[in-house]
Structure 1
């Protein structure tokens, strides 16, 4: 396996559009790193640049100790798994798994050994003589993964490999990919627009928007300390609740519609510089809880029971909120409720730039 290093990597298209703007980060040897963001954010472009399928406009890309900016894809020692399975329909599973190795002139005995190892790992041993048309979606995706595994490359690149699967299959394949990564200790770069996939799979996550890296960190650090409003709103399901208003020294947030009592403010010098200025205050749905002594009143609009938890969709003036609670007896939609939150659970952002305060 190998380390991957991006140093101010840049992609500019002929029409002037910047697909990726000066991306700089290292992917450690054996790390599973996830690129995540909305459609058009540059994550697939960045992956294709690593693969050599997209030209590099500026910066340096290294795999191991070798700069590969101008190295052909076939010579980069990478294997890629695409969103569509890209299997040869006239070939059996075994033939699909070993096709790339045979193209490279690998001895037949070595091809057979690697194909058998991959089939055993992916539980495809009973389907080696089947053709893709006879396989389920999950099995086809496992064959696509296996075709990359038999290559034993320095880096695995996975471009939204689960997006064509239904919800149940996506869950099982996420577990499968995590298990494979743990067994192989492989360097993997995984692209997805699904923030749940990103949070559950990635050892670290790169969050992109508009071709610009917003934050790079572990899943829980991103969740607990988002660097800006975009990351705060993108990661987390349901999304973080946000209030915009003027911050006062006594712990009040004066919004255009009402005043929200935030409680005693954290004693940070950074926050002290924002008194009497416009800020955005965020609170996660699980930190916004019904309370008879709460400081925030809201109208209950929709109740969403999802088994072990319940989502309460609320309205505070024109602001829509969500509270995540344990199953309990609840009033009917339309009722007014009061909610509380711990001041230390609040997130503060600059209303103008969107950057985290403190």
Structure 2
């Protein structure tokens, strides 16, 4: 396996569109790093540049200490798993697994040994004689993973490999990929638009938007300390609630909004808020930190619009003025939709952002 280093990597298309803007970070040897963001954010473009399928407009890309900007894809010692399985329908599982090795001139004994090892790792031993049409979606994706696995490459690149699977299969394949990474200790770069996939799989996550890296961090740091409003809104399901207003300090911290003042209490991070007094800010509240409370001590009130019970928790969809809010609560008896709920905030978990730039205050 190998480390991968990007230094000011850039992709500009002939029409002037910047697909990736000066990406700089390093993937450690044996790390599983996830690239995540909405459609068109540049994550797949970045992965294709790593694979050599997309030319590099500027910057330097190194794999295992070797600059590979001009190196052909076949000579980069990487293996790629695509969104569509790209299996040969007329070949058996064993033939699909070993086809790349055959093209590279490996001896049949070596191919058989590697195919058998990959099939055992991915629990495909009983399906080696089957053709893709006889396999389930999860089995086909495991064959696609196995085809990369037999190569024993320096780096694995996975481009939204679970997008074509149903919800139950996606969950089981996430566990499969995490187990495989732990077993192989391989360097893996995984692209997805699904932030739940990113949070559950990635040791670190690179969040992109518009070709620009917004934040690189561990899953829990992204969730607990988002660098800006984009990350705050993208990471987490349901998304972070956002309320716009003016930060005031009078008998405690308050957010003055068009629909009344919201009491913020005395949070531990208040020292970092001092320079932002009387300025426009955005208050971020995670759904679990917005809870029904006694009206006498509540920070705000909102109209209950929709109740979504999902088993072990309930999502309350609320309306505060022109702002939609979501509260995540434990199963309990609740008032009918249309009623008004008093809500309290968990002061130490509040987030504050500059309304103009979107940057986190006190980062």
Whole-Å separation in 2 of the counterparts to 1:115 and 1:182: 20
How many correspondences in the alignment?
A: 358
292, 302, 305: which one pairs with 1:301?
Answer: 305
2:110 alignment partner, SS class: helix
Partner of residue 9, structure 2: 9
Q: CA deviation at 1:72?
A: 0.2
Q: CA deviation at 1:82?
A: 0.2
RMSD between superposed Cα atoms in Å = 0.8
Partner of residue 355, structure 1: 359
Residue 267 to residue 150, structure 1, CA distance change in 2 (3 Å): closer
2:99 alignment partner, SS class: helix
* 2:275 matches 1:287: no
Whole-Å separation in 2 of the counterparts to 1:338 and 1:37: 34
Moved over 4 A (4+): none
Partner of residue 342, structure 2: 338
Matches for 1:248-259 after TM superposition, within 5 Å: 248-250=248-250, 251-259=253-261
Q: CA deviation at 1:54?
A: 0.2
Whole-Å separation in 2 of the counterparts to 1:35 and 1:220: 16
Partner of residue 45, structure 2: 45
1:248 alignment partner, SS class: strand
Residue 355 to residue 178, structure 1, CA distance change in 2 (3 Å): same
TM-score normalized with structure 2 length: 0.98
2:249 alignment partner, SS class: coil
Whole-Å separation in 1 of the counterparts to 2:270 and 2:63: 42
Q: CA deviation at 1:267?
A: 5.3
269, 275, 297: which one pairs with 1:273?
Answer: 275
Q: CA deviation at 1:266?
A: 3.7
Q: CA deviation at 1:270?
A: 3.2
The answer to whether the 8 Å contact 2:269/2:348 transfers is no
Whole-Å separation in 1 of the counterparts to 2:249 and 2:155: 52
1:243 alignment partner, SS class: strand
Whole-Å separation in 2 of the counterparts to 1:339 and 1:270: 25
Q: Which stretches in structure 2 are left out of the alignment for 5+ residues?
A: none
TM-score normalized with structure 1 length: 0.99
Partner of residue 36, structure 1: 36
Whole-Å separation in 2 of the counterparts to 1:265 and 1:272: 12
Residue 269 to residue 289, structure 1, CA distance change in 2 (3 Å): closer
Whole-Å separation in 2 of the counterparts to 1:54 and 1:240: 35
Q: CA deviation at 1:258?
A: 1.6
